[in-house]
Structure 1
Amino acid sequence: MNKHPESYPVYLFHMTFGHHGIFSLTPIFLFAIYGALRQALGRPGGAKPEGWHEDEVTGGPAGEGRRGRLGAVAWLTLILTVVMLAFYTWNPKARNYGGSTQGLRWLFWVIPFWMVVLPFGLGPSAQRPWLRRLSLVALLVSAFTVGYALRSPWSHPWLLDLLEHLNLYTLQR
């Protein structure tokens, strides 16, 4: 599994939403990207929680300094995600989907950053039942992916196995 003749857009698709896609295998991270965007753009949104009060020192909402730091983490998360996807999409020596792994291993180290901003992406789902159900489905698919990987972490992901079993896609090795 070294080189693939796929075009750059096809390769990027499979890295994100395809057979090795970080968002197709763990769709809960789509909520993390949404949360990072909300936090980076300064839109924490939603109704103010009970106990919300103005900070006596700054005159702004309490914890605004924390929001500034989280905004910086959100920007860092978005930049790292885009840079890593771009680098591995256009790097001719690394066009192998990370080898035989349960996902795009080059992005595994970005997962802690996504976890930090995930609550900001899940927050709006508290008021919308359909969004709450969608986030639950995303969590279940993500948990299934983890469970499938437990049997053999250095094998291909379930989505690729399924596509190959159905003869819909064959990964050149």
Structure 2
Amino acid sequence: MYLVTVLGNLLIILATISDSHLHTPMYFFLSNLSFVDICFTSTTLPKMLVNIQKYMVMYFASVLLGVGPLAGILYFYCKIVSSICKISSTQGRYKAFSTCASHLSVVSLFYGTGLGVYLSSPATHSPHSSATTSVMYNVVTPMLNPFIYSLRNKDVKRALRRLFGGQL
């Protein structure tokens, strides 16, 4: 999972840097999100593997660090949703809803795990549930980000083909 996270996010950064067509604010934001995911995963995963029971302080700090990028993502969602009303074709609406649904699933996973820990009672709290929550939040979400935010995008796919000489 760690290798998929790092390699997927590195591909996004390389594609954004190497292709001048991707030098737009949206791709700048996505490459920064990829960089943050690499740094976040690289610093938290080893600590989590060594001592998962004492990991909750880093967990809540990472929730606070995640608010900024997610605010930007939610801004883009508002733009997408407002343009859905202007899309006349069924295929265009399907594509817009598909994009929104995949993005919202990652955002829900990101905040849902934190909310679940916050709302759980101490009586039902177990080390197993803490470990599961930490893995979902700190490993699965950064691993899914490249696939959901960029690698499905035709512009990014084209940039990666150019970067690797058509080998993809």
Give the TM bin, normalised by the shorter chain: 0.3 to 0.5
Choose between structure 1 and 2: higher helix proportion.
2
Q: Which has the higher contact order (CA 8 A, sep 6+)?
A: 2
Larger Rg: 1
TM-score, normalised by the number of residues in structure 1: 0.35
TM-score, normalised by the number of residues in structure 2: 0.35
